[in-house]
Structure 1
Amino acid sequence: MLYLAEVQKQKGGGLLGGGGKTALKLLACQRTDQSWSAVPGDEVIPAEEAKNLNEGALVLINLGGNRQIQGEIELAGSRLARDLQNFSRLLEKAKSQEEEIEQWKQSLTYQSQELNRREMEMEARIEQMQSMEEDFERVEQQRQEVETAKEEAARLAEEFERSRQELEGAWEHLRGEQRRLEEQIAQHAPGLDPSQAHLIQELLEQLSQAVVPTDTVREQLNLSFEVLNAQQAELEEEWQQLEQRQTEASARQAEVDRQGEECQQRKQELQQAQKSLEEAKAELKVQQNALEIKQESVHMLSLQLRTQGELHQQVARLAATSADVKISQRVDLEALEQMPLGELQGTVQGLEQDLEKLVRFVNDQEEELTFQREAVEELHEKIKSASEYDRISMETELAEEQDRYQMLDETLVGQRRNLREREEILNQHQRVLRRRQGISDSNASDNQKIDLGPILTQLEAQRQQQEEDLQKLESQIEQMRRSINQAEEMIRHQAGEQEVKLSELQSLEQNWHSASAAVAQIRGQVESYQALLQPKQEALSQIRQKLEAIAEALNQIQETGDYQLQRIAQLQQTISSLIQSPEFATS
């Protein structure tokens, strides 16, 4: 089985530190599915084969059932690098798949919402179709009633026509008898006997009874008109409902158009805001690049300043430790020449005393620095032979001691330089004093020493200038960082507003699509309802026209019947007067 292990070396107890043993600490093992699991506990396998490897190195080994190493020990660095690269690619792939899954989730959510909306539309359509079927059944029933009324009216019309024909025949016969009577009356010929008079009377009675009464027919016709008017009233209500739906559809269409314009306007505003956001991001990128350039300049200037400081420190250390160099100090030699000799001697003595004190102090510091260096070296030796647990605490102590040694060393550099400066001042005073006392100057060789004072002054001036430049750059960087933070905050705010606006636009577009579908559904209902009402209206109009024609014909029949009864009554009066006349009685 493949294991990941760490090389551990145990140092021996000999004087030379030899005799150490090498072992491998098992960290993880590979399973059959190529996954890794941590090894519990601190299992260590002796492995002299890894003695040439550094302590802490990671290796791959194969262990058999007896926990013996099989095959060669392989360094795990390249294998871990490949595994990490593969793991990174798997993470990127998983992230990409998560994004795709999220997109699929959003798409499925939208599709589910769309299916629910369509299902609701289908249910509304089904309810509409059921309502239309009920309306159609009611219209069909009304149509059957109208057809029954039409058949009844047709039957009555046939009876009217038959009665009219019979009446016409009776009238022809009566007209013939009337003409004969008139001829006899005109000729004053006694040709009308009582039997003929009775016959004429009977014919007139039959003729008066042959006039068809129109009350029953008119009653049926009025009932037909009542049914027709009731159906027309219902149809008018349906037309009003249809007109209301048309008005509602127009109002909703206007609202849908307004929502469409608002969606278009919101989309344009979103595009403009997106463009502004991209411009702000581009500007932020420019500022970030400028900040990187400034930071690189600060880094380079910091390196220069550190190098300048190290050079200044080395020159100062050289000036403080070398006997071939000096640090010139500005001393008012003319004032020393004019100073009283006793006062000059006192000044020299004071400088000598101050110098002796400084020399003692610097020597003490040098001794302390030596002790500190020895302490650091001693800790180094102890750490080499210490255990793993003690090594951690001793390394912390070593770091503290090294920091203390470095601080003392840096302090001594300034103290040494100060000491050399004091010596140079004292030497200048002593030279003036000896010259005024007439003593020959045995230290003329001091004039041949290299003067590092101007170099140190120049280095100090350059360091101060670089520090000022560094402060300016750091101030500019701080301002640029604040500006970049403000720009990033503004971009985050704009991006948040963009997301809110995008969500609002998507919701608005979804509402717009739903409203458009609802308007289309209403318009479809209106068209379907209108397609049902129009034939019904036309059928009722045709029935009304036929009933009105029947009513007009009935009125004409009524007028004809009344006229016939009037003429029959006149004939009956004429016959009665003839029968009662003396001539008729004589005959």
Structure 2
Amino acid sequence: MLYLAEINKKSGFMGAKTELRLLARKQSEHNWSPVPGEELLPFDASNDYNHGVLVLVEVDTNRNVKNVQDATRQLVGILKNFSRMREKFKTQEEEIEGWKQSLIYQSQELTRREVDMEARAEELQQLELESQKIEQQRSEFEDSRDQILQLKEQLEGDRQQLEEAWGRLQTAQQQLDTAQSASLSDEQVHQVEGLLQRLETELGNGGGADAGMLEQQQTHFNQYWQSLEEDRSQAQQLEDALNQKTRDLDQIWQDWRQTQGTLEEAQLELKLQEKILTVKSESLSFLITQLQAQADIAQALNQVRDGFTGNATVNLQALRSMSVEDLEETVSRLQKELDKLSSFVNDQEEELELQQQTINELESQVEQASEYERLSLTGDLEQEQQQYKLLNETLEGQRKTLQEREGVLHLHQDILRQRQKGKDSRTRQSIEVKLEPILQQLEAEQEEGDQQVQVLKNEIARIQVSIQNAEGTLQPQIAAQQNKRSQIEAQEQELNEQRATVAQRWGRVKTLEDVLQPMQNALDAMRGQGSENGSSGGPPHEAVAELKQVLMALGKVPDLTPVA
């Protein structure tokens, strides 16, 4: 057992007596405890040490002195170590204070980012509400679209009926106009006039026509009747063909309208897909922004937990396996390097501040200078601003390097404190314990957010492909539908012209029948009356007069003076 003791000499009539008064006992390498009370041990080497000298005494278990040596050198070493430890403790206190300030700053930054996250979360909630509104509007839009489609079908049916009625009205109008304007050909009119004059002559002469002449006239009439029947048959064939074309055209119109309705539904669906794409793109952008904010917060918390080292890499395992003495030397070296760099950066900062002051003074002089002096001062101002910009850009990298060096040094110091099992290591562990659940939660939210981002990207890509395919399919169909409509309208115009032709043909048939029938009646009357009843005023004369009125109404026969 090693003790710190004091030489105690006492003089008496029998001579001097030397004893060792034990002062402190060594517990460990750096730990001594005082000896309670006053404990004395006999000591024979009285001539080696003077009274009051401090010595180190090694005592065995039987309280016998085994070895005594001067404690002066040991005490000097202990005092030196004590002074060094005081300086080290002072430095560590300053470092702890720096860490506290850094933690305060990082806590404030974390609070600010939490506020920002809350604001972004509110924005996301608002966006979700808007998305729900859009979804509700989409549902309402689909309901409205179904109602519109039903109304459209009703309107198309009414429109089709209206078009059919309008077509029938136009056909009837054309038939009426054609019938009103229909007339016989010039040759037919001349033949009818010839027959009419012969009939009138025969009746005017008062004689009856013989049977041969009547049969000859009947032969001419039979030819007209045969021609009339041929015209009637051709008109009927044309009308049947026209009716078939009308039915075919109605079916074509119906098919076109059905295709048009399908195209319009596809166009509505395309617009809806484009709206959904816009909403999902906005959601993706906001989610990416939110994930970036979470990543920034996680990075800040990791910096609080591990110490900010910037882009510098620190092998923590090597630091933990390094001896304490080597680690102390490394920390001392890093501190010296940091002091040099900090001094240099501070000098540069002061120079930058002086440069800014010069710029401020020049700006003030430019405002107060005359026009001539302002040109010179403006050049100087631009030069100073350029120098300030270059110096500031240089300092940006130096500031970053200084910050990285500080982070590296703090990390080394923290490892050293942990190795020394100081108070701050427990504080550090407490910080790590508190931050670890937060970091795990942020990591889980980041992974979930990344999955949501990927899902949104896949959905957006799918919708984009769907929109592109729909556009590629719809555009040719729309163009083909427009061309089809033009063709149908051309067919409808051609069909209207054919209706006019058929109406004109039926008008001719009706007109010729209206002309031939009175003449046939007159001829039949002459054949039935006989030659003795040739006086005027009878039925033959009335038939001839009626026929002349018909021809006069057609505007083809001049007004003839009746034969008395």
Place the TM-score, normalised by the shorter chain, in its bin: 0.3 to 0.5
TM normalised by structure 2 equals 0.46
Which has the greater radius of gyration? 1
Q: Which has the higher contact order (CA 8 A, sep 6+)?
A: 2
